[in-house]
Structure 1
Amino acid sequence: MIGRLQCVVLDCPDVLELAWFYQAVLGGEVNRPDRRWGVDDDFATLHTDSGLVLAFQRVADYRAPRWPNAAHPQQFHLDIDVPDLDTAQDLLLGLGATLLLVDPLGWRIFADPAGHPFCTLAGH
């Protein structure tokens, strides 16, 4: 092993908007004091209940991904287990997510408020 994942950083136009969106989806604490990062108008963090840390970095002239358009690539995506796909969909849409695809195999693709794709899958 060379190293350990510290956090996943998402580029976006509004760091707090995206941090609060993912806090509502995953739980956790926005901008919890942590010696590893300083938070400000250009950088925010979310320490999730599972231990994963997401960070959000403001980018000037941000270009949102447009799944599945290769001219605006998704760059990465998150897979999120949910207990009920329909309930999760209603809650996510209420938080500002956009439904991109309902797959016949049982998962759904959304875009967060900054345009990053993420999938919901029926939890096991």
Structure 2
Amino acid sequence: MAVATLGAVVLDCPDPAALAGFYADVLGGTVVGQEDWVDLKLPGGQTVAFQAAPDFVPPRWPSPDHSQQFHLDLEVPDLDAAEKEVLALGARPLETEDRSRTFRVYADPAGHPFCLCAC
């Protein structure tokens, strides 16, 4: 028996509405809220939330001194097509050179690492 259920994954960031908009463009869903806390309600029922952190310092990937702490793995049917789309939305590549792997690493506009993973 579980003690709890997952309510949301929450990302600190300087601009919650902007980052929620980025992930809405990547994952779909509906952006709810404004200002210091914004939820992205995903089609499968999950929620990703974005919380204002005025002194936010993005993680550095890879760096043992500035740990990423966690990242999102986003499954996609076509890595090349998905890469093109997330870069157009404002992501930046962190580790994409090895095209033989089944994943590529990017940073969202606030600097959080995320992976596109072939499904």
TM interval, short-chain normalised: over 0.9
Q: Deviation of residue 105 (structure 1)?
A: 2.1
What is the CA deviation profile of residues 70-115 of structure 1, one whole-angstrom value per residue up to 9, with x for unaligned ones? 2221111010110100000000000000111124422100000011
CA distance, structure 2, for counterparts of residue 51 and residue 40 of structure 1? 20
Distance in 2 between the 1:40 and 1:48 partners? Answer: 17
Matches of 2:64 and 2:36, distance apart in 1: 27
| 1:73 counterpart (67, 84, 88) | 67
Q: Distance in 2 between matches of 1:48 and 1:108?
A: 22
Q: In 2, Cα distance between the equivalents of 1:85 and 1:63? A: 28
Equivalent residue for 1:121?
A: 117
State how far apart, in whole Å, the 2-side matches of 1:40 and 1:26 are: 19
How many corresponding residue pairs?
116
Contact 1:63 1:72 in 2 (8 A): no
Describe the SS at the equivalent of 1:80. Answer: strand
**Normalized against structure 2, the TM-score is what?**
0.93
Which 4+ runs in 1 deviate beyond 6 A? Answer: none
- Aligned match of 1:46 in 40, 52, 69? 40
1:51 Cα deviation (Å)? Answer: 1.3
The equivalent of 1:14 in structure 2 is 15
Q: What is the CA distance between 1:60 and its match in structure 2? A: 1.8
Q: Unaligned regions of 5+ residues in structure 1, if any?
A: 32-38
1:34 corresponds in structure 2 to none
User: CA-atom RMSD, angstroms?
Assistant: 1.0
Structure 2 counterpart of 1:24: 25
Q: Work out whether 1:93 is the aligned partner of 2:87.
A: yes
Find the aligned partners of 1:74 and 1:110 in 2 and give their Cα distance: 12
Q: Give the Cα–Cα distance (whole angstroms) in 2 for the partners of residues 108 and 51 of structure 1.
A: 26
> What is the Cα deviation at residue 50 of structure 1?
1.6
Question: Which consecutive residues of structure 2, in runs of 5 or more, have no partner in the other structure?
Answer: none
